[in-house]
């Protein structure tokens, strides 16, 4: 097991460096001067040159990358151009809110997805399967930002039950675990949960169907096992793949939250990314994307290890 974990970690290192390279290059595919956000329109040539060397933009690209990577490894992602505060602390504060939203959504989406998937897989081609499958396909086809709008229309505008935007009456800084705050989480969490719900349903349905049609299930039943015992075997066989899919979905929720967070003004990393893009705050843009991508890589690594831990066949391949 330790050899497997070590091998996986070694394999992740080049990926992490390449991810950093992509994030670094993002700023350099940007048309125009990367200093456009800080330079006044009537800046003199000297001022521009001065700033350029202050930010290090006058050095050759590989040197810039090396320096940037060195600082990033030490936790320095530069300062936000818009606010002047360190990028890392801005990102970390926002990521906390995104993690909260993603976990809430995962609890809803994964529970429903596993439930629908198992039921649909067990009762293939019955009406209950058709209903679950329809839910699933609607879930993966919904533009989730539109679903968010529709939810706001129904539950905030028409029924006036739940707040439409924000993360609490006291703003993003004052979160508390009470109903007054949790009601702000409900609509964004349900909206975020729809895609993972659909994908987990589809995966688990296919897995359950495949497993149930295998010979060993027949053998278990012939041996005289009760249906609950057979079910335990089905779950055990479906777990590694289902786990991998859920891990990936959690990663997508963390990294792809920008649309939902924009709809609900949820103060997470997505909203931060949105403001970084429109204020042309390139260090913040670069830093946010790097942190989110690293989270995603780390999550994938953990999923791989967890998968190998519950399914010994994976280690050997």
Partner 1 sequence: MSVLSDAALQAPPTAKARGYWATVGRRIARDKVSMACAFILALIFAAALLAPWLHLADPYQGSMIRRLRHIGTPNYPLGTDELGRDMLARLIYGGRLSLIVGILPVILAFVIGTSLGLVAGYVGGKLNTAIMRTVDVFYAFPSVLLAIAISGALGAGIVNSIVSLTIVFVPQITRVAESVTTGVRNMDFVEAARASGAGPFTIMRVHMLGNVLGPIFVYATGLISVSMILAAGLSFLGLGTKPPEPEWGLMLNTLRTAIYVNPWVAALPGAMIFAVSICFNLLSDGMRSAMDIRN
Choose between 63 and 157: whose C-beta lies nearer to partner 1. 157
Select the residue interacting with partner 1 from 51, 140, 306, 309 (CB under 8 A).
Answer: 140
Give the Cα separation of 228 and 179 in Å (integer).
Answer: 38
Of 93, 94, 90, 60, residue with least CA distance to 77? 90
Question: Per CB under 8 A, which region of 65-73, 106-114, 138-146, 227-235 contacts partner 1?
Answer: 138-146
- CB-based burial label for 145 (10 Å; 0-12, 13-18, 19+): middle
Q: Tell the smallest beta-carbon distance from residue 82 to partner 1 (Å).
A: 14
Choose between 23 and 81: whose C-beta lies nearer to partner 1. 23
18 forms part of the interface with partner 1 (CB under 8 A) = yes
Q: Tell the smallest beta-carbon distance from residue 171 to partner 1 (Å).
A: 21
Of 4, 89, 47, residue with least CA distance to 284? 89
Choose between 230 and 285: whose C-beta lies nearer to partner 1. 285
Q: Tell the smallest beta-carbon distance from residue 235 to partner 1 (Å).
A: 26
Give the Cα separation of 138 and 43 in Å (integer).
Answer: 53
Q: DSSP states of 183-202 as a string?
A: HHHHHHHHHHHHHHHHHHHH
Give the Cα separation of 133 and 137 in Å (integer).
Answer: 6
27 forms part of the interface with partner 1 (CB under 8 A) = yes
Q: Tell the smallest beta-carbon distance from residue 178 to partner 1 (Å).
A: 28
Select the residue interacting with partner 1 from 172, 233, 252, 306 (CB under 8 A).
Answer: 252
Q: Tell the smallest beta-carbon distance from residue 46 to partner 1 (Å).
A: 28
Select the residue interacting with partner 1 from 50, 53, 141, 214 (CB under 8 A).
Answer: 141
152 forms part of the interface with partner 1 (CB under 8 A) = yes
Q: Residue for token digits 């967890």?
A: 306
31 forms part of the interface with partner 1 (CB under 8 A) = yes
Give the Cα separation of 180 and 183 in Å (integer).
Answer: 6
The SS3 of residue 78 is coil
Residue 148 zone, left/alpha/beta (φ > 0; ψ -120 to 50; rest): alpha
- CB-based burial label for 284 (10 Å; 0-12, 13-18, 19+): buried
36 forms part of the interface with partner 1 (CB under 8 A) = no
15 forms part of the interface with partner 1 (CB under 8 A) = yes
Distances (CA, A) of 242 to 125, 211, 238: 21, 13, 6
Name the DSSP class of 79: B
Select the residue interacting with partner 1 from 45, 158, 228, 317 (CB under 8 A).
Answer: 158
Question: Per CB under 8 A, which region of 29-37, 74-82, 173-181, 220-228 contacts partner 1?
Answer: 29-37
By rule CB under 8 A, what count of residues binds partner 1?
Answer: 48
157 forms part of the interface with partner 1 (CB under 8 A) = yes
Select the residue interacting with partner 1 from 146, 171, 213, 226 (CB under 8 A).
Answer: 146
Q: CB under 8 Å to 116, separation ≥6 — which residues?
A: 132, 135, 136, 197, 201, 204, 205
Interface positions, 256-315, toward partner 1 (CB under 8 A): 256, 258-259, 262-263, 273-274, 276-278, 285, 289, 292-293, 296-297, 300
Binding site for partner 1 (CB under 8 A): 14-15, 18-19, 22-23, 26-27, 29-31, 137-138, 140-147, 149-150, 152-153, 157-158, 251-252, 254-256, 258-259, 262-263, 273-274, 276-278, 285, 289, 292-293, 296-297, 300
């Amino acid at each position: 097991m330790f050899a497997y974990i070590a091998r996986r970690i070694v394999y992740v290192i080049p990926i992490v460096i390449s991810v950093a390279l992509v994030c670094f290059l993002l700023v350099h595919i940007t048309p125009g001067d990367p200093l456009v956000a800080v330079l006044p329109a009537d800046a003199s040539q000297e001022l521009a040159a001065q700033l350029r060397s202050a930010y290090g933009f006058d050095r050759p690209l590989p040197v810039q990358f090396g320096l940037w990577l060195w600082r990033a490894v030490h936790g320095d992602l530069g300062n936000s151009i818009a606010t002047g505060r360190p990028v890392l602390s801005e990102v970390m504060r926002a990521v906390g809110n995104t993690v909260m939203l993603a976990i809430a959504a995962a609890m809803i989406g994964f529970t429903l997805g596993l439930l629908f998937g198992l039921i649909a897989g067990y009762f293939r081609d019955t009406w209950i399967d058709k209903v679950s499958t329809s839910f699933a396909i609607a879930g993966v086809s919904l533009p989730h930002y539109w679903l968010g709008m529709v939810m706001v229309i129904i539950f905030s505008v028409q029924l006036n039950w739940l707040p439409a935007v924000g993360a609490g009456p006291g703003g993003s800084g004052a979160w508390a675990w009470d109903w007054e705050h949790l009601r702000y989480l409900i609509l964004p969490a349900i909206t975020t949960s729809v895609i993972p719900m659909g994908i987990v349903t589809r995966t688990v349905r296919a897995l359950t169907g495949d497993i149930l049609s295998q010979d060993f299930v027949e053998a278990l039943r012939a041996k005289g096992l009760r249906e609950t015992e057979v079910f335990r075997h089905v779950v055990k066989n479906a777990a590694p793949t289902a786990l991998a899919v859920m891990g990936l979905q959690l990663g997508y929720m963390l990294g792809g939250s920008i649309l939902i967070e924009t709809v609900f003004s949820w103060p997470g990393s997505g909203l931060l990314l949105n403001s970084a893009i429109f204020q042309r705050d390139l260090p913040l843009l670069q830093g946010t994307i790097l942190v989110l991508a690293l989270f995603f890589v780390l999550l994938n690594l953990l999923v791989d290890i967890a998968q190998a831990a519950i399914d010994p066949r994976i280690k050997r391949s």
